[in-house]
Amino acid sequence: MPAIFINGCNQFQEILKLIGTLPPHNWLVSNLDCFDCFGWDGCEKWANETMILTEEEFRKDIMLRNPWFIWGAFSAITIEHTKEEIYSYELPWLENPYYMSSMIIPQHPLAFLEISVFDGCYTIVSSKDKKIIEPLYLMQGDVHDEESSNQRMNAELRRIQDILRAMVPDVLPEIANEVQWKCWHALFRERIGNVFDSILKCEVEKWYEHITKSAYKCNTTFWDPYTQ
């Protein structure tokens, strides 16, 4: 399924303009943190963390104010689904490693489109129909296919894990997680082109030794690239 990464903040107006006309729908808003929730007519609702708005209500405020969203998942759900049905499913969760997956679809099972805003810095737009979001590639700046980016990242993480597990077959998951991210950020994140195995092996050895021989606090959540 397609997903597009858009760098930058406060771009909701342009996103909605480019997406254009959609099937009749309502918007499930969840995980909301809106900076612009006071001082204007109708602003009070944007102080809520979760709500359902009609397309007319939603688009009116976006086009009027272009609110600055810090966090928020905005799920477009066709109008035949009731509020009770929508809320019967687990709501989208933004601080979720799911967004590092090699395949990204709207988190809410009933949504055909989902716009997710992260920390006021970037947006990921996913859809069950790639034609809906393809116009977003016309936006200025860093706009790219997030699934392709994640597929490459997960392949790079698997290379790191292959080397680490050859060295330490019974490595603890939390240590494996820290090593893979330290190495990935050091060698792959900003690099254009590939990394030689010899260089990668040295980096893996360096970080494994640093993490295991110091009072290093590991993140307990292991992102397993082999599942991707």
CA distance 156 to 153: 5
Residues 155 and 118 in one domain: no
Whole-Å CA distances, 200 to 8, 41, 169, 204, 226: 32, 56, 17, 6, 18
- The band of 178, judged by pLDDT with boundaries at 50, 70 and 90, is very high
| Average pLDDT over every residue of 81-103 | 92
Residues 196 and 84 in one domain: no
Range of the domain at 124: 3-141
Residues 205 and 189 in one domain: yes
- The band of 194, judged by pLDDT with boundaries at 50, 70 and 90, is confident
Residues 49 and 133 in one domain: yes
pTM exceeding 0.95:
no
| Average pLDDT over every residue of 137-154 | 94
- What per-residue confidence (pLDDT) applies to 218? 73
Last residue of a domain, one of 141, 174, 204: 141
- What per-residue confidence (pLDDT) applies to 79? 97
Residues 162 and 133 in one domain: no
Last residue of a domain, one of 141, 167, 193: 141
SS3 21: coil
Residues 156 and 65 in one domain: no
Work out how many domains the chain is built from and give that number.
Answer: 2
What percent of the chain shows pLDDT beyond 90? 71
- What per-residue confidence (pLDDT) applies to 107? 94
Residues 27 and 106 in one domain: yes
- What per-residue confidence (pLDDT) applies to 48? 84
Last residue of a domain, one of 84, 111, 141: 141
Residues 132 and 42 in one domain: yes
Nearest to 43 by CA among 13, 64, 74: 64
Residues 66 and 177 in one domain: no
- HSE-CB at 156 with a 13 A cutoff on CA atoms is 26
pLDDT averaged over every residue in the chain: 91
- The band of 38, judged by pLDDT with boundaries at 50, 70 and 90, is low
- What per-residue confidence (pLDDT) applies to 1? 63
Strand arrangement of the beta sheet that strand 69-78 belongs to = 51-54, 25-34, 69-78, 111-118, 122-127, 3-7, 143-145
The 3-class SS string of 131-170 reads HHHHHHHHCCCCEEEHHHHHHHHHHHHHHHHHHHHHHCCC
